[in-house]
Structure 1
Amino acid sequence: MKKILLVDDNEHDRMLCRRFLGKQIGHERLEIFEATSGEEGIAQFRRVRPDCVLLDHNLLDTDGLTLLQDLRALSPPDALCVVMITGGGSEELAVRALNNGALDYLVKGRFDQELLCKTVLHAIEKNEWRQYVGRYHGQLQTVNQQLRESLDELTEARQQVQQTNAQLLAANQEVEARNKELARTNRDLDNFVYAASHDLKQPINNLRGLFDELRRTATFDDPEEAQVLRLVDESLRDLTTTVTDLSAVVQVDRAPGEENTEPVLLADLTADVLQTLRPQLLSAQGTVRTCFDQLPEVVAVRTSLRTILLNLLANAVKYRQPERPPRITLRSRLADNQAVLEVQDNGLGIDLERNGAELFHLFRRFHPEAGEGTGVGLFLVNRLVQAQGGHIEVESTLGEGTTFRIFLNQAGRSSPLVLTQRK
């Protein structure tokens, strides 16, 4: 539920905005509040803390720029979402509004329902993303500091290994064998230094281990301390998920097509994936039906195909209808010498007419209320399929479910993805 505050002294304009916004934007339900003056607008802002303010520039008791400054003083840094509205199309006023903290600008009489809804939704999403980045900036600074400390420790350890190697070079056969072992250790350290300098996963894993040990061994009598532990745990999980997903994308970009294809038994691979997803399926009371009679085996990069199925099946469970358990079907067939894998669910569905163009974009999520996520899964699936010369077709009906068809092109020629909105 998103809260919208209309600050406008013109009843007709407020009524027009209410009618344009309705009760919902996309998948977001709205609760609209109104104020007819700057003083009332500040009072309403303090009371309801809206997700977005539609602020008329010309008010009887003040002007929009002055009220914008007052609202900024009442909000945390980079947390105010304001769309300035005026009756005149002054470019100078638009620039001043944006420079003073407004996220967008509209001119009365020059916007329709679609433009208003898109502007409000974009401003809310931009503000949420800005706050998301701010929350994790401090955590990343801490991780970076630990990374620098780890690199210093590794540099010192590497120097010690090199000194030991120099001494072992003058020793006998037994010492030479030990020297070879230390040389292998040295190479491993080199690889680790490279990984640590290019990836945040290792220090994050270190933090996770320390936190789990603290939670296992420490005793807390104060309930507030237990709450702090829970918040730290959630932050670590979110940060790990983000870094892991981004790392997977980077790996696809760095080394496309380097892994070899091999015959893959779909039943075995699916059993492995379902074992990974077993906790989510049990929690959601979901079932997965498989049908591989027409095509029990495909030729593909096994690790990539596992990632594709894992992401599609996990999404089918995550984006389920709250009132019914997920029912998922996974089947395979051969079409025009292409292996076709089909994942069909009875979940929330996707509005392809509205969101189809952004379906496989990075960081795009269309049902944020359904659960946590980073919006990387479908992007990664599409890149992996394209890397094998394939393409994806999608059919979906809002409220009924979605079907993803993965075409693996054995000839290595890629085709465009096809989106079909089921009526």
Structure 2
Amino acid sequence: MDINKELELYQFEKLNQTLFLNHPDAIYLLDLEGNFMMVNDEVCRITGHDRETLIGQSFEPLIEERMKAFTKERFLESIQDKPQRYETSIVTKSGFRHLDVTNFPLKNDDRILAIFGIAKDITEKKQKELELEQYMALLQMHNDELEIFRKILAHDMRKPVANALGFARLLNGSLPESKEKEVKRYLLHTVESVDVMLRDLNELIALQSTGKESKEAVDVKKTIKRIVNFFQEEIRQAGAVVEQEVADNIHIQTIKAYFNSIIRNLISNAIKYRSPNRQTVVQVSAFLHNGLITISVKDNGIGMNLAGIGKELFQMHRRFAPKAAEGNGLGLYIVNQQVRLMGGQIKVESELDKGSTFTITLPTQ
């Protein structure tokens, strides 16, 4: 080989090496066992490992666990002379990185010598895609809930408002004293039902803040006692007994409005869905265990067929005993959402004509 050809070959090899090492994407060579033979600076930057650490080591330990089998399968395809393009994830010192990878065989005639690979870091793109998916899901959820609000306003609230107007017109006329008392009672009941509905709608709207309200210290025993006292008239009218078994000095740091709403909804349901065949007994208990507070509201009411209800129990606008009591199907949905936003869990046990037990577990901080 003459000196000029040798110089040209040397310059070409240097140019290839320069392009390899300085390419903006991660470029590497793998031997047929999957070990790194060459890596450029971008491979080192993405993985967080220097060249000396990577050379001679397998690519497999870098791959995120759930993607290992898939990524290895793509590598095996490439050494069978089948170029591959795919997405995978690796684990680095700074967290997960998402890569768009192209592998193809480097051959000498028909013999495969190594696998040449190019990987583009698409982590930022994947994060934006995930954020967009989450935003679209949230938007869809809000749209669904707005439709529910519209239906509640158009249907559920229309009837009690129309009833209230009718009772008001009757009172505006001339009625016997006994009839007037009856109409006033009906009017008060109707207005109270509208008040409950508006309160539930307000709590639903409050849930859209995703639970970022500031936390406050809550004295559990005092709070439960105060809420039970709030229902004294309903308890009296139902001839019910509410038993409280709450340990002293239980304090939690939580979203106070949510905590109050959960207890209020569960006690209200226990009284509302009582059995006509026996005296209503509601048991409210609370205790601490392993840094968690467990609150239980148990009743001996009409109960539910949980097997038949399934996952619908906590869905919005679902009613399971419309003949037993009036309602708008929002209470348990609100309770479930509030418990979730407080970082807790809810469990339900129920049997037809035996009663129901709702158990809430919440963190104390």
TM-score for the superposition, normalised by structure 2: 0.50
Q: 3-state SS of the aligned residue for 2:323?
A: helix
**Structure 1 residue 351, shift from structure 2 partner:** 0.8
Q: Is 1:263–1:298's contact at 8 Å kept on the other side of the alignment?
A: yes
Q: Against the structure 1 CA distance between its residues 135 and 349, is the aligned structure 2 distance closer, same or farther, given a 3 Å change threshold?
A: closer
**Structure 1 residue 400, shift from structure 2 partner:** 0.9
Q: Against the structure 1 CA distance between its residues 258 and 345, is the aligned structure 2 distance closer, same or farther, given a 3 Å change threshold?
A: same
Cross-structure match for 2:234: 280
Q: Is 1:294–1:334's contact at 8 Å kept on the other side of the alignment?
A: no
* Deviations, residues 25-74 of structure 1 (Å, cap 9, x unaligned): xxxxxxxxxxxxxxxxxxxxxxxxxxxxxxxxxxxxxxxxxxxxxxxxxx
Cross-structure match for 2:261: 307
Cross-structure match for 2:278: 324
**Structure 1 residue 242, shift from structure 2 partner:** 2.7
Q: Against the structure 1 CA distance between its residues 320 and 220, is the aligned structure 2 distance closer, same or farther, given a 3 Å change threshold?
A: same
Does residue 372 in structure 1 map to residue 326 in structure 2? yes
Q: Against the structure 1 CA distance between its residues 410 and 211, is the aligned structure 2 distance closer, same or farther, given a 3 Å change threshold?
A: same
Distance 2:152 2:328 in 1: 15
Q: Is 1:265–1:297's contact at 8 Å kept on the other side of the alignment?
A: yes
Q: What amino acid maps onto 1:340 in structure 2?
A: T
**Structure 1 residue 263, shift from structure 2 partner:** 2.8
Distance 2:221 2:361 in 1: 18
Cross-structure match for 1:408: 362
Q: Against the structure 1 CA distance between its residues 388 and 318, is the aligned structure 2 distance closer, same or farther, given a 3 Å change threshold?
A: same
Does residue 220 in structure 1 map to residue 151 in structure 2? no
**Structure 1 residue 231, shift from structure 2 partner:** 6.8
Does residue 360 in structure 1 map to residue 328 in structure 2? no
Cross-structure match for 2:144: none
Q: Which residue of 282, 293, 311 corresponds with 1:339?
A: 293
Q: 3-state SS of the aligned residue for 1:290?
A: strand
**Structure 1 residue 337, shift from structure 2 partner:** 2.5
**Structure 1 residue 249, shift from structure 2 partner:** 0.5
Q: Which residue of 246, 259, 271 corresponds with 2:225?
A: 271
* Deviations, residues 80-128 of structure 1 (Å, cap 9, x unaligned): xxxxxxxxxxxxxxxxxxxxxxxxxxxxxxxxxxxxxxxxxxxxxxxxx
Tell me how many residue pairs correspond in the alignment: 213
Q: Which residue of 365, 384, 392 corresponds with 2:346?
A: 392
Between structures 1 and 2, the one with greater strand share: 2
Q: Percent identity?
A: 27
Q: Is 2:284–2:296's contact at 8 Å kept on the other side of the alignment?
A: yes
Unaligned runs of 5+ in 2: 1-150
Distance 2:211 2:312 in 1: 25
Q: What amino acid maps onto 2:300 in structure 1?
A: N
TM-score for the superposition, normalised by structure 1: 0.44
Q: Is 1:295–1:332's contact at 8 Å kept on the other side of the alignment?
A: no
RMSD of Structure 2 on Structure 1 (CA): 3.7
Unaligned runs of 5+ in 1: 1-129, 143-203, 412-423
Q: 3-state SS of the aligned residue for 1:369?
A: coil
Q: Is 2:296–2:360's contact at 8 Å kept on the other side of the alignment?
A: yes
Q: Which residue of 241, 248, 258 corresponds with 2:196?
A: 241
Q: Is 1:349–1:400's contact at 8 Å kept on the other side of the alignment?
A: yes
**Structure 1 residue 248, shift from structure 2 partner:** 1.5
Q: Is 1:348–1:398's contact at 8 Å kept on the other side of the alignment?
A: yes
Q: Is 1:330–1:342's contact at 8 Å kept on the other side of the alignment?
A: yes
> After the TM superposition, which residues 17-416 of structure 1 pair with which residues of structure 2 at under 5 Å, given as runs?
133=154, 215=171, 220-221=174-175, 236-253=191-208, 255-293=209-247, 296-410=250-364
Q: What amino acid maps onto 2:282 in structure 1?
A: I
**Structure 1 residue 134, shift from structure 2 partner:** 5.4
Distance 1:131 1:290 in 2: 35
